[in-house]
Amino acid sequence: MRSNDALHLGLMLLALAAAYLVPFELLLLAYVVLGPAHYFTEISWLHDRSYYLPHRGIAAALVIVAVVAALIDNASWFGFAMWGALIVCAMLAATTSAIESMLLFMVALALSAIMYSSGSSLAVIGVLIPTLIHVCLFTLIFMVLGANRSGSRLQAALVAVYLLAIATILLLPPTAEIRIASFARVGQDYFGNVGPALGRLFGVPGLVLDTRLTSLLAFVYTYHYLNWFIKADVIRWAEVPKARLAAMIAASAASTALYFYDYAFGFTFLLALSLIHILLEFPLDSLALRQLVAAVQGAVRTRYAAPVSASASRRRATGPKASKRAPRSR
């Protein structure tokens, strides 16, 4: 096993163990301590790649949308902002023609109408996009793409371990007690809407932020951040001027300190910062989703084309012309 893959596995198992032992405390500490470092470093990395957008000015508009969304109290309007930003970024980054963009827009418009007519669907999507969809689903997509591109069985095994860890938490939830009550209360204030949103999505009434769901969030958030940090040698996010790196470290530490100084204002700031990095990542997420679909289509074509090619070869080998002797060479 390569050292990086071994470290990858070790950090994943560490996050899983901590999610079992101290889920409430881990969720908040990961969000407050690891989160800002992830946000600043990824925004820096995306900036050097023009945010995978045709014009950087679009990124400035996304930042404004994120800041305004952080101040929106209405859940449906917040969901509309998240959903609309995702669709626009997908049209800009993941489509290759005007026809594809138009088709995507029409599908998105139809889905928006369905969500609007159902009442709470926009609110649900607004809760899930910046939490489980961004932190869990897209992390999984990037892991699958990485394993597919490298052709590494070890990285494919890491994907399996990640899914197994999530299944373990859901099927065998921890029974950890709350050790720091204030952390649990704050976690309930900030992540308490995830449970009802999942309940409405899957038709499970009364779903709340219990130990099971808290452990799941603690694991996926912690691993989401750690997974980014250990990719420094792969995607080279740390290869920036020393002055910028120092500024990111200082800004990250100041953001965490601000939260502990005034958690209400600090959380609002962290929410805005988190949404900025999420919206700026939407183009890359959309591109990754398109690449995953293409990879799946390619695998399916390869899987079903091989038997057809083999059958055609056998038919040619046993056909009338194949029975004739080849002319002898002089």
Q: How many CB atoms lie within 10 A of CB 9?
A: 16
Phi-psi region of 32 (alpha: psi -120 to 50; beta: other; left: phi over 0): alpha
Is 323 inside any structural domain? no
CB 238 within 8 A of CB 245: yes
Is 159 inside any structural domain? yes
Can you give the C-alpha Rg of the chain in angstroms?
Answer: 24
* Lookup result for tokens 């449906």: 76
Percentage helix, strand, coil for the chain under 3-state DSSP, each rounded to 5: 80, 0, 20
The continuous run of DSSP H or E covering 282 comes out as helix 263-318
| CA gap 263, 192 in Å, rounded | 16
Q: Which structural domain, as residue segments, surrounds residue 175?
A: 3-318
Q: How many CB atoms lie within 10 A of CB 98?
A: 8
Token digits of residue 203: 């038709």
Q: How many CB atoms lie within 10 A of CB 56?
A: 10
CA angle 261–264–270, rounded 5-degree value: 85
Is 326 inside any structural domain? no
Is 328 inside any structural domain? no
| CA gap 108, 83 in Å, rounded | 9
Is 329 inside any structural domain? no
Token digits of residue 143: 């892991």
Specify the number of domains making up the chain.
1
Is 81 inside any structural domain? yes
The pLDDT profile of the chain, 330 residues, written as one tens digit per residue, is 577 788 889 999 999 999 999 998 899 999 999 999 999 999 999 999 999 999 999 999 999 999 999 999 898 999 999 999 999 999 999 999 999 999 999 999 999 888 888 777 888 999 999 999 999 999 999 999 999 988 888 999 999 999 999 999 999 998 877 777 777 777 777 788 888 888 888 778 888 888 899 999 999 999 999 999 988 778 889 899 999 999 999 999 999 999 888 888 888 899 999 999 999 999 999 999 999 999 888 888 887 775 655 555 555 555 554 444 444 434
| CA gap 315, 326 in Å, rounded | 18
| CA gap 52, 42 in Å, rounded | 13
